[in-house]
Structure 1
Amino acid sequence: MDCANQIVSRIDGVLIRELRKNTDSRGWLIELFRKDEIDPNIMPVMAYISMTRPGVIRGPHEHKEQTDNICFFGPSVFKIQLWDNRDNSPTSGKTQVIEAGEKNPLAISIPPGVVHAYKNVGVRDGLVFNAPDRLYGGEGKSQEVDEIRHEDKKDARFKISF
């Protein structure tokens, strides 16, 4: 999809979009996803929001089939690290660190096989919105969860660099 607010990623298949914060006297509004701005192959099928406390890391983990469509918009600041763990990718082995949050709201689409983690590097609790293209645990939560949790492995090679 052609999107004017797209940022080039160093990892093939990762899509990064700037999110525009529309502010007025009532507060602000951010459009997280629009049907005309997202590839129909990774269209979200569910959504959730999580809160991460300052200094806390979530991940690193990856998915075999799922694309995560994650939005970082505040009210804190996050550092996100990506590792291309796909053998058949032109950017296999590359890593990328991105900063996003209140002053730099971003949407990041992370394809299967790209390991990802994020840390709240701000001083306030931060909200993260995710709209993956697969149901967590499948229909009726009756299937195995599509997640490889590297954070549970003592010898994992994916370590946050910040």
Structure 2
Amino acid sequence: MKLPLLVPVLALICSTGICAAQSTPADEATFRKLQSDWAEARKNQDVAFLERFYATEFTVGVMNGSENTREQDISVFRTKILKPAVITDTEMVVHRYGEAALVTGVEHLEGTYAGNSGAFDLRFANTYVYRDGRWQMVRHQATPIVKP
């Protein structure tokens, strides 16, 4: 096929969405940075960041098995009920699925909740979607790691 004919054919193929995954910017470093930025925002009670970062349908599967909405999660930072001092993510693995991604790993947390100090480790799974020109978190699920 000659080059002048190839360009319109490629343009047509990409306009159908077949090339969409390649046009979505992200690699493992992107998601490591998102996780780090999210940790800093929680430590700094940065509600404005959380409001931009969380998708409108964001939910949290909390440690006691219940579900929290986007507003419930943001509220614990807005009211300063939850004050994380240390948040460290390790063992992170990034799974990309076109314009969605799953980031799994272990998170170590230290801080206070309703005035009570504590430290614990969680195994997490965070789901992201690429929307409106940016990656947004749509789901955070965490399970406590019980030490023997």
Return the structure number with greater strand share: 2
Higher relative contact order (CA 8 A, sep 6+): 1
Q: Which has the higher helix share?
A: 2
Q: TM-score, normalised by structure 2?
A: 0.28
